């Protein structure tokens, strides 16, 4: 049978190959040789096993790595790349022969070849006329899929005149009857019957892909392309996926062309049947041979794979990726740039300035936001509690201090960022109400429920103006990384792994330096505590800064040319970010010690009351410190958190906490404030002391003052009674147990907390089965008490709350002895592994 290649007619003037294609035959042989001979590093014939798999009835496609082929025979690889469409049937034949040689496959079974690992990638926009027929890789977003149906690839026909059977009539996207019966004496050209049982079919699916945003020139509509998937490639792409397609661009002849005289293949009888209903005018036109000059394009893909790091989609968070796979996805230039960036001594600074070129000053905020973009490493404890790696940042500042600009920049820059305002015009909720203020006749929009995107950055402007219910939702999202939606009585929990970048206005419009941060913003303590970094932007009335601001703004207006000076383009930063985020830095021994050191320092200073910080230093800050250090390490593409990373993280944390120095205020006031804050701490733990508001808290201040004594005590306890010594692992296990128990108790019951004795009893009950004698029970009890003691006073994991309700450190020192009255509260939503690390270092000291 002569294979009439309609597809190539338009594109390739030399396409009329009616005689045996010699080049193709040669390539078929060479390709078969490749399949037979190519060995992997273990010396096995690589494709043998795969070919044997093809025996299974549902399999028919052999996936071949193009890189292998290039390594085996460069010439063959080039030929295939350039003439893919022409050679494709021959390559498939080679696969068939290969499969037949190595397994019992039905004679009639067809096989197909698919290539993967094609090194170069083309943009959809680059698929021009010259690319027709060659093997290319494109990536695009699948926007539409059609159902799979069988396609006739080779038909067997029965001549209705002479009853002769005509086999193997090739079909190309089009039902094609034999042009003439092969029986030389029979001149039948029209009357044929398709024998479906003897014809061959293939799975066939059309999908439409669209140019990805990254490839799209600004201001243009993305191009789309019809992709044809066959055999095993069907159903491998879903609408919304970003996929790589390897195959070739083809030109599809349209029906009108086929039904015009002069074309060899006959049009389908079904189409012909329609003509009977058509009007005279059409026939008239047809007789004149009117035809369109245009073709339709399609992409025939043999291999589909998800675009790995979803490059085009600007997706920067895909934790399953490895740095290596990302590197693979980049072009040489892109990779070189990333490498160059990772070597940049000034990277930190350059990234900041490139991200926010139009914002003057505020370097610390820029750094904080940058670290937020890199993020810490999310962890899961042995108990299955997941701990966020996302860094949350809050910018508090006077009006018109570029707060919104920061948010807008981040929204522009990062994928899946949501920008929303706590109130009014840009409500991001699902619904909203328009309400009229009767006094001023102003309309106000009251936003509905807030939507949060999973895996993104949520920029919230006017955070303080946000509705309480939204604040609660945000709170949940910030800590649990989920968001709960109650609708029609059904509560759904959705993932919301997002970093929050919030901007808030100070109470009363201006930041009052004589007051604490807490008093300056209208946020609840639990929410405040979920931010890793707070930045305070004060509209300083200072000639130098005023000049700088004026210069920047006037500059903006006086220079015509649109030049924003950036060391790195946004795309370069995006790529770098994607790459760097694949690192999961571990904390080195040195850094661990350093973290502990810094943390202790923070707490000491906090306790000593020398500097009045924005809030109490708690384990949360330790968590933040770890996250920020990890983020720093990521930024430099390090696998290990080094002390220098911790140092910068600490510096930033320190700045963020104690940014605004308070001028002298009278002591009474300070005391009041201290009280207030202690109460806040109380709330922070989601717990009210049994006595209600007046319940006194022995915060860390007390704990700290006693550190020395306790320290000694703890050591003594351990050395004097060797029987109470326990391995670190054991200590860790028990303390985790306790913390979890307390947490559970807190979550279950907000009203009453567990007293220390309750906890001890619970623990003993837990290990009841292990206890044989009374002696052992007493020992265990002593041990658990020691552990709790250590947890409270040394590791600050738990806090003791006394019920006696007395103020002042003098008094509270007395409470130490009244252990029975003490209520235990798990102090933090703590990274248990971090805690463990700290303990470890403490113990090793």
Partner 1 sequence: MPTVHDWINNPLAVVDGLFAQSNSSPDWEKKVVEYFKEKLKLNDAHTWVPSLNDVPLYYLKPNSLVKFRCMVQDMFDPEFFMGVYETNDLTSNSKQVKCGKYKDITVGGVDFNSRNTVTSERQTFYCVPIPGESQWAKEISFIWCTSQARVVPSTSYVPNRHKRSYEEDDEMDTQPQHDVDMWGRPKRQETEAPSHDSSSAHCTSSLDLNFPLPGEKGPACLVKVYEDWDGFKLNDMLEVFGILSVDPALSVIADEREASSLLDPTEVTETVEEQRVHSPPPSLVPRLHMLYAQPLVHNNPLLPSSAPENNGDHLSSVLGELASVRAELHTYLTHVLMGDSLAAEYLILHLISNVYSRRDVLPLGKFTLNLSGCPHSSPYTEHLYKVIQQLVPSSYRLCMSLHNMNNQRMVPRKDYTANRLVSGTLQLANNTSLFLDETQLEQGQLDATGVRNITALGNLISWQKVDYDFNYHQMEFPCNINVLITSEGRSLLPSDSQVNLRPTLNPPNLEEYLSAVQVAQVPSQFNKYRIYLSGARALNYTISDEITKAVEEDFVEMRKDDPQSMSAEDLHRLLVVARLLSLSHGQNTLSRDGWMKAKQLEALRISRTQQQKSLSGNEP
Considering only residues 406 through 445, tell me which ones interact with partner 1, judged by CB under 8 A. Answer: 408-409, 412, 424-437, 439-445
Which residue lies nearer to partner 1 by CB, 538 or 737? 538
**Which residue of 164, 361, 448, 805 would you call a contact of partner 1, by CB under 8 A?**
448
- Which spans in 375-417 are helix H? 403-413
Rule CB under 8 A: is residue 231 a binding residue for partner 1?
no
Task: Pick one of 550, 665, 675, 843: the residue that binds partner 1 (CB under 8 A).
Answer: 550
In the bound state with partner 1, the residue whose beta carbon lies nearer, of 150 and 808, is 150
Indicate whether 293 belongs to the interface with partner 1 (CB under 8 A): yes
For 168, phi then psi, to 5°, come to: 50, 50
**399 is a site residue for partner 1 (CB under 8 A):** yes
Question: Closest CB to partner 1 among 9 and 342?
Answer: 9
DSSP string, 67-82: HHHHHH-HHHHHHHHH
Least Å distance, CB 33 to partner 1, is 34
Q: Comparing C-alpha atoms, which of 498, 520, 545, 499 is closest to residue 396?
A: 520
- CB 500 → partner 1: shortest distance, Å? 19
CB of 572 to partner 1, least distance (A): 16
Strands 498-504 vs 533-537: parallel, antiparallel or unpaired: unpaired
How many other β-carbons are positioned within 10 Å of the β-carbon of residue 30? 20
The residue assigned the tokens 């020992």 is 779
Under rule CB under 8 A, residue 282 binds partner 1: yes
Indicate which single residue of 60, 61, 139, 141 sits in contact with partner 1 (rule: CB under 8 A). Answer: 141
Question: Does residue 45 interact with partner 1 by CB under 8 A?
Answer: no
Nearest residue to 263 via CA among 286, 236, 238, 229 = 286
> Binding partner 1 by CB under 8 A: which of 89, 103, 164, 222?
222
Question: Is residue 765 a contact residue for partner 1 (CB under 8 A)?
Answer: no
Q: Tell me, residue by residue from 350 to 389, as one string, x for binding to partner 1 by CB under 8 A and - for no binding.
A: -------xx-------------------------------
Q: In angstroms, rounded to a whole number, what is the distance separating the alpha carbons of residues 538 and 521? A: 13
Q: Are strands 456-461 and 418-421 parallel, antiparallel or unpaired?
A: parallel
- When asked if residue 228 is in the footprint of partner 1 (CB under 8 A), the reply is yes
The yes or no reply on residue 747 touching partner 1 (CB under 8 A) is no
Using CB under 8 A as the binding rule, the residues of this chain from 238 to 257 that contact partner 1 are 239-240, 251-252, 254-256
**Contact status: 648 vs partner 1 (CB under 8 A):** no
Kindly tell me which of 13 and 184 has the beta carbon lying closer to partner 1.
13
Candidate residues 263, 724, 726, 777; the one interacting with partner 1 per rule CB under 8 A: 263
For partner 1, the closer CB: 209 or 657 = 209
Max distance between CA atoms of the chain, in angstroms, equals: 119
User: Judged by CB under 8 A, which of 1, 23, 193, 285 binds partner 1?
Assistant: 285
**In 3D, which of 799, 777, 797 has the Cα closest to residue 735?**
797
Answer positive or negative: Cα dihedral of 212, 217, 223, 227: negative
Q: Which is nearer to partner 1, 445 or 726 (CB)?
A: 445
The residues facing 135 across adjacent strands are: 248
Two tokens, residue 428 = 């991001």
Nearer to partner 1, 178 or 585 (CB): 178
* DSSP letter, residue 751: S
| Exposure on the CB side of residue 667, measured as CA atoms within 13 A | 1
Give the three-class secondary structure for 159: strand
Of the candidates 820, 821, 760, 755, the one whose C-alpha atom is nearest the C-alpha of residue 786 is 760
Chain residues 604-643 in contact with partner 1, contact rule CB under 8 A: none
- Quote the radius of gyration of the chain (alpha carbons, Å): 36
The nearer residue to partner 1, 47 or 413, going by C-beta atoms, is: 413
What residues from 78 to 137 belong to the interface with partner 1 (CB under 8 A)? 125, 128-129, 132
Min CB(431)–partner 1 separation in Å: 6
Asked whether the CA dihedral 126, 129, 135, 139 is positive or negative, the reply is positive
CB-nearer residue toward partner 1: 362 or 698 = 362
Hey, which residues between 183 and 212 contact partner 1 (CB under 8 A)? Answer: 204, 206, 208, 210
For partner 1, the binding residue among 1, 2, 16, 604 (CB under 8 A) is 16
274 binds partner 1 (CB under 8 A): yes
Strands ordered across the beta sheet of 798-801 = 754-755, 823-826, 798-801
144-to-127, 207, 214, 290 alpha-carbon distances in Å: 20, 6, 20, 33
CB-count exposure of residue 693 (10 Å: 0-12, 13-18, 19+): exposed
Residue 37 tokens read as: 């001979």
Tell me the number of residues near partner 1 by CB under 8 A: 121
DSSP conformational letter for 503: E
Does position 488 interact with partner 1 (CB under 8 A)? The reply is no
**Which of 547, 671, 716, 749 touches partner 1 (CB under 8 A)?**
547
Give CA–CA dist 483/473, Å, rounded: 6
Question: To the nearest whole angstrom, how small is the minimum distance from the Cβ of residue 257 to partner 1?
Answer: 8
How far, in Å, CA of 281 to CA of 273, rounded?
17
> Measured between alpha carbons, how far is 476 from 392 in angstroms, rounded to an integer?
13
Determine if 224 is a binding residue for partner 1 (CB under 8 A): yes
Q: 322 near 362, Cβ under 8 Å?
A: no
Q: Which residues in 497-516 contact partner 1 (CB under 8 A)? A: 509-510
The binder of partner 1 chosen from 345, 487, 491, 557 (CB under 8 A): 557
Nearer to partner 1, 537 or 641 (CB): 537
Q: Which is nearer to partner 1, 69 or 549 (CB)?
A: 549
Phi, psi angles (nearest 5°) of residue 663:
-70, 170
- Check residue 485 for interaction with partner 1 (CB under 8 A): no
Does position 10 bind partner 1 by CB under 8 A? Answer: yes
- Residue 492 phi, psi dihedral angles, 5° rounding: -110, 140
């Amino acid at each position: 049978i002569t294979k009439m290649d309609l597809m190539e007619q338009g594109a390739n003037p030399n396409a009329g190959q009616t005689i045996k294609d010699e080049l193709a035959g040669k390539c078929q042989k060479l390709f078969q040789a490749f399949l037979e001979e190519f060995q992997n590093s273990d010396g096995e014939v690589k494709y043998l096993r795969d070919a044997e798999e093809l025996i299974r009835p549902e399999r028919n496609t052999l996936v071949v790595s193009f890189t292998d082929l290039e390594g085996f025979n460069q010439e063959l690889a080039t030929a295939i790349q350039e003439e893919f469409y022409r050679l494709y049937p021959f390559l498939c034949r080679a696969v068939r022969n290969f499969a037949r040689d190595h397994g019992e496959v039905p004679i009639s079974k067809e096989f197909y070849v698919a290539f993967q690992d094609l090194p170069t990638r083309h943009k959809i926009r680059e698929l021009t006329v010259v690319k027709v027929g060659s093997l290319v890789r494109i990536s695009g977003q699948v926007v539409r899929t059609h159902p799979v149906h069988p396609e006739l690839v080779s038909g067997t026909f029965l001549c209705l005149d002479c009853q002769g059977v005509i086999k193997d009539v090739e079909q190309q996207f089009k039902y094609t009857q034999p042009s003439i019966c092969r029986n030389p004496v029979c001149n039948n050209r029209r009357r044929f019957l398709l024998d479906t049982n003897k014809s061959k079919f293939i799975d066939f699916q059309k999908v439409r892909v669209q140019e990805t945003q990254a490839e799209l020139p600004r201001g243009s509509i993305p191009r789309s392309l019809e992709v044809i998937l066959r055999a095993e490639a069907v159903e491998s792409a879903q609408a919304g996926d970003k996929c790589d397609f390897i195959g070739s661009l083809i030109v599809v002849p349209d029906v009108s062309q086929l039904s015009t005289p002069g074309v060899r293949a006959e049009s389908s009888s079904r189409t012909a049947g329609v003509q009977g209903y058509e009007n005279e005018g059409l026939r008239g036109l047809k007789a004149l041979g009117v035809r369109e000059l245009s073709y339709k394009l399609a992409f025939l893909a043999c291999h589909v794979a998800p675009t790995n790091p979803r490059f085009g989609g600007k997706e920067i968070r895909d934790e399953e990726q490895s740095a290596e796979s990302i590197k693979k996805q980049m072009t040489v230039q892109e990779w070189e740039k990333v490498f160059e960036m990772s070597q940049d001594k000034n990277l930190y600074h350059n990234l900041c300035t490139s991200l926010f070129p139009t914002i003057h000053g505020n370097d610390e905020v820029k750094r904080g936001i940058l670290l937020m973009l890199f993020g810490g490493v999310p962890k899961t404890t042995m108990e299955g509690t997941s701990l966020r790696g996302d860094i949350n940042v809050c910018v508090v500042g006077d009006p018109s201090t570029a707060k919104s600009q920061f948010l807008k920049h981040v929204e522009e820059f990062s994928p899946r960022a949501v920008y929303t305002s706590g109130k009014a015009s840009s409500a991001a909720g699902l619904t909203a109400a328009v309400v009229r203020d009767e006094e001023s006749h102003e309309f106000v929009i009251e936003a509905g429920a807030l939507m949060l995107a999973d895996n993104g950055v949520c920029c919230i402007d006017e955070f303080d103006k946000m509705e309480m219910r939204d604040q609660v939702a945000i709170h949940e999202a910030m800590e649990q990384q989920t968001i709960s939606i109650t609708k029609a009585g059904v509560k759904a929990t959705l993932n919301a792994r997002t970093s929050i970048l919030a901007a808030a206005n100070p109470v009363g419009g201006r930041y009052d330096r004589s007051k604490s941060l807490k008093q300056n913003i209208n946020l609840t303590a639990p929410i405040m505590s979920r931010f890793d970094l707070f930045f305070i932007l004060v509209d300083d009335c200072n000639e130098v800064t005023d000049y700088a601001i004026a210069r920047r703004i006037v500059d903006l207006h006086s220079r015509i040319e649109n030049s924003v000076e950036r060391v790195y383009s946004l795309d370069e930063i995006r790529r770098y970010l994607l790459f760097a985020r694949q690192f999961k830095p571990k904390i080195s021994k040195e850094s661990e010690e350093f973290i502990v050191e810094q943390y202790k320092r923070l707490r000491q200073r906090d306790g000593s009351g020398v500097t009045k910080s924005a809030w109490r230093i708690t384990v949360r800050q330790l968590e933040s410190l770890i996250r920020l250090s990890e983020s720093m390490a990521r930024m430099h593409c390090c696998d290990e958190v080094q002390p220098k990373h911790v140092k910068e993280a600490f510096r930033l944390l320190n700045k963020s906490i104690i940014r605004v120095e308070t001028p002298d205020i009278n002591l009474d006031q300070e005391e009041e404030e201290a009280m207030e804050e202690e109460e806040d701490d109380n709330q922070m733990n989601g717990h009210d002391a049994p006595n209600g508001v007046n319940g006194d808290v022995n915060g860390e201040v007390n704990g700290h003052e006693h550190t020395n004594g306790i320290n000694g005590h703890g050591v003594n306890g351990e050395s004097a009674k060797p029987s109470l010594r326990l391995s670190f692992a054991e200590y860790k296990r028990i303390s985790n147990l306790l913390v979890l128990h307390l947490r559970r108790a807190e979550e279950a019951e907000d009203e009453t907390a567990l007293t220390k004795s309750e906890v001890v009893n619970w623990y003993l009950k837990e290990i009841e089965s292990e206890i044989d004698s009374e002696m052992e029970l007493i020992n265990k009890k002593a041990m658990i008490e020691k552990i709790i003691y250590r947890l409270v006073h040394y590791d600050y994991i738990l806090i003791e709350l006394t019920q006696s309700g007395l103020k002042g450190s003098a008094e509270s020192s007395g409470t130490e002895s009244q252990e029975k009255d003490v209520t235990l509260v798990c102090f933090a939503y703590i990274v248990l592994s971090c805690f463990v690390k700290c303990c470890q270092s403490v113990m090793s000291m």
